[in-house]
Structures are given as C-alpha cells and as structure tokens.
Structure 1
Amino acid sequence: MCKSFRNVFSLVMVLALVAALFAGCGGSKETKPAETAAKAYNGTVKIGASSWIGYAPLYVAVEKGFFKKHGVDVEMQTIQSAGDRKTALAADKIQGMASTVDTQVMTQAAGIKIVQMLALDTSSGGDGVVAKKEIASLKDLKGKTVGLDTTGGASYFWFQYLLGKEGLSFNDIKVQSMTAGDAGAAFVAGKIDAAVTWQPWLTNATKTSFGHVLVSSKETPGVIVDSLALRKDFVDKYPDSVEGIVKGWYDAIEYMKTNPEDANKIMAKAMGQSVEEFTQSLPDVEFYDQAGNKTYFGTDGKKGLIYEVSEKAADLWLKEKLIQEKPNLDEMINGSFIVK
C-alpha cells in the first residue's frame, strides 16, 4: 500500500469515526427531549370550575405563575354547571374539572374516563341542615318537611350520608324538592320545618327567632370534598404535567399562608366577590395541602377517605338510578402524584 493511499485511507477512517461520534451525541440529545415531550403536554391545559371558594387557589397558581414554574401552562375556565363541565370534558374542550367527589363518580359512570389526582378542599361549615329549634337531632326530623335538592349533587349525597348514619331514610321524612338556595329561603320564611342548604342561609337561619343549625359540614370533614380530576388519557400520556399541576396547587396554598392579602385579592376577583365578602367565607372551607392529600388518599395498604366517599356515592347514585352501573373506583383514583 503506497503512502498516499494510506493517508487517504486514514483520513477516511478519521472522518467516519468523527461522524459516528457526532451521530451518537446527536442521538442522545434527541432522545431526551423526545422522552420529555412524551410525558409533558406542550399546549394549554384547560380546567373547568364553578365560582366556588374551594377552587379559588387554582387562580392564584395561574396568576402567580406557579403552574408554569413546574412546566405546565394552565387556563381556568368558569363553567358553573357540573353538567356543562362534564360535556366539555367529554368533548376534550377541557382536560380537567373541579367538582365534588360524588359528582366525579357520576362522570366516571357516564363513560367519561377520569382520574381524581388531587383533593382541593372540604366543606367545613359551608353546608348544613337548618331546622326549627324544637328539632334537636336528625332523628327528630321523622315526619317533618325538609327542603332538599333531589337532583343529585353534594347536598343530596351529604344528607343521605347523615341519614344513613342515624338509620334513617327518605321514607322517614317529607322531602320537598327545591334548590339549596330556595330551601334556605323557604326555611327562613317559615314555610318548611328544615332545609339542607349552605351559606349564607345557615347564618340567616340563626338570625330568626325559630331556627338553628342542626348539623353542619364542619362535623363531617372529608365527606363534602372537591377534587380535581383530569381525563384519564391525559393522565396516562402526560404524567409530568399532572405532577406540575399538583405542585402548582401546593405552591398556591403556601402562598395563601405567607401572602394572604395578595392571595385574597386574586381569589376574590376570580370569584366575583369583594375581598371582604371572600374573606368572610374562608372559614367555611379547609384547603388540602400535601399533608392533607396524603391523609385523604391514603396508601395502597390503608386507603383514605376518598375511597369510602366514592363508594358510598356510587352505591347511592346506583340505588337512585342516577347512574346505570357502578364505575371502576380504583381506576378513577390515583394518589401517586400527591407525594412526588
């Protein structure tokens, strides 16, 4: 082999080696973003919620950039009706919705596959049963007329839960179907014996000469709970974004503690209230931070209250024929993101 040929051959080998090295480096750089892209959503995650105080920290997380800090862009959409939220979720117009746990069960039963991955808040005095003063216990409601929203939802589920604990059922009382707000107004007007309602009607009832709060949600923590649920296909495909949403919520809860004045302004605006009105209603809810979520979801070895509440809701909705079949509850509850 002549010297010139060896030089050419050596040059070719060197170039081939360099090309291989660059290809290898390039391959490693491309692989990592591809893996990241497969786990994180590049678009805007849209979450539907009503103007309920329990969802207010979500707006803090958006306003203060906490979601973006954890790599996810979130847009809140005000959708007051739970039915409309379910419709939007089914059509993939939104990727998640905030609602009560019992309502999330209905959504799953309707064939809209969701995953509850974060507990937001529990009613802590915001809901209650008001009654005439001579009615001293739930058992005293036997034969009495009670105003109640019978179309399903948190009030209906909670009241059934209360009656069940006392060995009572709807057959023991006279139910007058009306919205929770109308029930409160009817009681204050002296038209019914009791009502399952919420604030401000609980306070208004105590201002009458004949009424009192028989029982409030403060006595049943963890039963009327709002959770954030995302479409199951979204959770399966974009776990990093789900984790980012959870961490953004935690940051918002912490910000509320350290910067209450600014946080309250943001939340009051989002709820369409004055800061004074908003702060007055804050004691009616308890927000779930990471510790609260860990307790509520529990572990594989010891499941938390969310499973019991979901089970009771599923049994009730099936009994009342508001759903056609019992949904897979284990599939729609995932507490793995709350501990990351």
Structure 2
Amino acid sequence: MSARTPPLARLCAALLGALLLALLAACTRPQPPALRIGTNVWIGSEPLYLARELGTLDPLHVQLVEYPSASEVLRAYRNQAIDGMVISLDELFGLAVDGLDPRAVLVVDVSHGADAVVGRAGMKTMRDLAGKSIAVEGGALPAFVLSRALALSGMQAGDVKVVHLESNEQPAAFEKGLVDAAVTFDPYRTQLLRAGGRTLFDSTRIPGEIVDLIAIRKGVLDERGPAVQALLTGWFGAVDFMRREPGDAARRMGIRQQTSAEQFLAGQRGLHVPSREENLAMLGGPTPSLAASGRRLMTLMLDAKLLRAPVDIESLLAPGPLTRLPRPPP
C-alpha cells in the first residue's frame, strides 16, 4: 500500500486484515475430541447404540466405548480413559466418595425386575442358596443386589459362598456346574434361564432402589456443553423411535445383544425408561425425587458397609443440560 494512502484507509485495511486472520484461525481451529461415553453389555444402554445407528447421535460430538463389564467401565473412568459412562446410582455414590466428581445428567432407566439372582433348577427361594456358591461381579451394584436379596430373606453374607466372576463369564460357569447361582441381568439372565436356571429374587422386591444414569466428569461437563447436548438429543431421539416403532427398535437392539426381538422386548419389561419430564422431576427442581430415594439407598449402603462415607446427593445431580435441551416440535 502506498505511503500516499490516507491514514483512515490504511486503518480500515489493517482492521480488515485482522478480521480475515481471525476468521481463518476460527475455521482452522481443531474440532474438540468427541465425548467418550463408556457402557457395558446391558439392555439399558442399548438406546445409545440405537441412536448411533439411526444417526441421531452426532459422531463428531459423542463416541461410545463398550466394555465387557461394569467394573471395567468404572476402571476406565477412574483412569480417565472415558469422560462419562452409564452407571448405577450406587456406583455414582462410590465414585463421589473417592473424589472423582461424577455428575448425573440423565436417568436412563429404573430397574423393575431386570436385576436378579438366578439359581439352579429345583431351588425356589434365596434360602435354598445356604452354603452354596453364587457368582457376583466386582463393583457396588451386584454386591448391593446380593445384600438386599439376603437381607429380605433373613440371611447374612456368610450364609453363601461368593465367587467373583465378571457378568459375561457367569453363564459358562453356571452351565459347567462351577457355581450354583449368579447375581445377573439381561442378556446374561436370559442365558442362565435357558440353561435351566430359576429366578430366586429380582428388583421388583426393591422398587426404585436400582437406577441407571449417564454421569459425566464435572470438569468435562463444564467445558463440553455442545457435546453433552448432542448426547441427550441422541438419547431422546432413540427413545422416541422405540415408542413409535417398538418391534423395529427391539430387532435392531436385539442384534447387538445377540437376542431375538421378542427376548429383547421381554427384558425391557423389567425396566422403566423415564421421559424428559420425568427426568427433570428426578434430577431438578427444589426437591429432586432422585435425591429423596437416593438417601434411602445411601443409608442401606452405609449400613451394609458398601459405602464408606455419606455423600451430598443433590450436588451430584446436574439437570442443567437437560433443562437447556430444545423441546421437540409437537
């Protein structure tokens, strides 16, 4: 530019150049890495994979990482290999006590029969397990289910022999006669029943006590708002599809779970999947209902020594992303 160019023109040119550089930098700024969400093999997590298949879960924002067992999901979170996960409420408490800052952004399901203790043919009640071996996966939830099943049957932990086995290892051990029972859930419960097992206890006996959530690390939640919104949008897109097309949805999800659509639908009957409005009532407002039911669960866990210290439940609930989620058109 000539030295004879008027000062105002030079200033405008400089500002325009700076603006173009800023726009270029914005265009070339790298996309933040996808939000990594860990799951285990569990029918309650399947709507996430259905959302991925349907295209309602943006892969640029959310990556699903499946592990063989819930204990491996927790290990991955502790090692910061994932940003969030599908976990149960009792597991949320355990992570919080250890200072790992999980925040619940969504209730994915409430168990009403989906979690169970399955024993051998001929057994009728939990009391038939006295002195027998029972397979239990590592982690808080299976221990909690066993603790409640024993307590409601007038039994104690010492009345059974606990064998630590991952959930995916239990059906084979049961068929080989290595264990007499298992604390289980679908799809593994179905496999145990097909092998001649009998349900001795299930979560219909403890309504509202087993709740599964999507929890995300607090630091990630504060920084990755668009990714969290994409996660919630994908979830509710899949849930809406499940309600409109239950047979097709069950067929798609059953393929991943290696079950038929009919078996998948039967397993789903043991779960309640809360709506957006139910989620808001459970997680938000002045008196979130999940905090009320969670306090009872926390007391039970403390009494059974499954939790080493109490937690402030309300501080673990993060309804903000859900309240900001655009409502679908009527």
Whether TM exceeds 0.5 here: the answer is yes
Q: Secondary structure at the match of 1:312?
A: helix
Q: Deviations over 1:169-192 (max 9, x none)?
A: 738x8344246858x969xx9x98
Indicate whether 1:231 and 2:217 are aligned: yes
Distance 1:46 1:246 in 2: 14
Point out where structure 1 has 5 or more consecutive residues left out of the alignment: 1-7
Q: How many residues align?
A: 308
Task: Quote the sequence identity (%).
Answer: 22
Distance 1:242 1:20, change over 3 A: same
Q: Which residue number in structure 2 is paired with residue 126 of structure 1?
A: 114
Q: Which residue number in structure 2 is paired with residue 59 of structure 1?
A: 49
Q: Secondary structure at the match of 1:200?
A: helix
Q: Which residue number in structure 2 is paired with residue 308 of structure 1?
A: 293
Distance 1:28 1:47 in 2: 33
Q: Deviations over 1:97-144 (max 9, x none)?
A: 112111222223333222121111122222246798986xx9xx6996
CA shift, 1:225, in A, is 1.6
Q: Which residue number in structure 1 is paired with residue 140 of structure 2?
A: 153
CA shift, 1:245, in A, is 0.9
Q: Pairwise mapping of residues 1-340 of structure 1 onto structure 2 (< 5 A)? A: 12-16=6-10, 18-19=12-13, 22=16, 42-68=32-58, 72-128=60-116, 149=136, 152-158=139-145, 160-161=147-148, 170=156, 174-178=159-163, 198=185, 199-200=189-190, 216-218=202-204, 220-299=206-285, 301-306=286-291, 308-309=293-294, 312-313=297-298, 316=301, 320=305, 324-340=308-324
Q: Give the structure-2-normalised TM-score.
A: 0.72
Point out where structure 2 has 5 or more consecutive residues left out of the alignment: 325-330
Q: Is the 8 A contact 1:311 1:329 kept in 2?
A: no
Q: Is the 8 A contact 2:137 2:183 kept in 1?
A: no
CA shift, 1:85, in A, is 1.7
State the one-letter code of the partner of 1:336.
G
State the one-letter code of the partner of 1:89.
Y
Distance 1:200 1:145, change over 3 A: farther
State the one-letter code of the partner of 1:233.
G
Distance 2:6 2:296 in 1: 70
Q: Secondary structure at the match of 1:83?
A: helix
Distance 1:219 1:170 in 2: 17
Instruction: Give the number of the structure whose alpha-carbon radius of gyration is greater.
Output: 1
Q: Deviations over 1:7-59 (max 9, x none)?
A: x99x624415634764796699699x69xx8xx97222222211110000000
Q: Is the 8 A contact 1:72 1:244 kept in 2?
A: no
Deviating more after overlay: 243-252 vs 194-203: 194-203
Q: Give the structure-1-normalised TM-score.
A: 0.70
Q: Secondary structure at the match of 1:107?
A: helix
Distance 1:224 1:23, change over 3 A: same
Q: Is the 8 A contact 1:315 1:326 kept in 2?
A: no
Deviating more after overlay: 126-135 vs 14-23: 126-135
State the one-letter code of the partner of 2:263.
E
Q: Secondary structure at the match of 2:64?
A: strand
Q: Which residue number in structure 1 is paired with residue 328 of structure 2?
A: none
